[in-house]
Amino acid sequence: MPEERCPACAESIPPGLRLCPQCGHDLLQAAIAPPVPAPAVPAAAAATLKKFHQQMNALGGVNILAAVLIAAPGAFLARDLPAEARVVFWGIVGGFAGAMTLLAVFLFLKHEWAVVVSLIFYFFFLVPSLFRVQICAIILMVACIAQGFRVLQMARALRAQGIDPAL
What predicted TM-score, i.e. pTM, was given to this entire model? 0.37
User: What average pLDDT does the chain have?
Assistant: 66
Rounded Cα gap, residues 7 and 36, in angstroms:
13
**pLDDT tens digits, residue range 3-55?**
677 777 777 777 777 777 777 777 666 555 555 565 666 677 777 777 777 77
How many other CB atoms are found less than 10 A from the CB of residue 150?
Answer: 15
Q: Where are the domains of the chain?
A: 1-36, 44-160
Could you tell me the pLDDT band of residue 93, with boundaries at 50, 70 and 90?
low
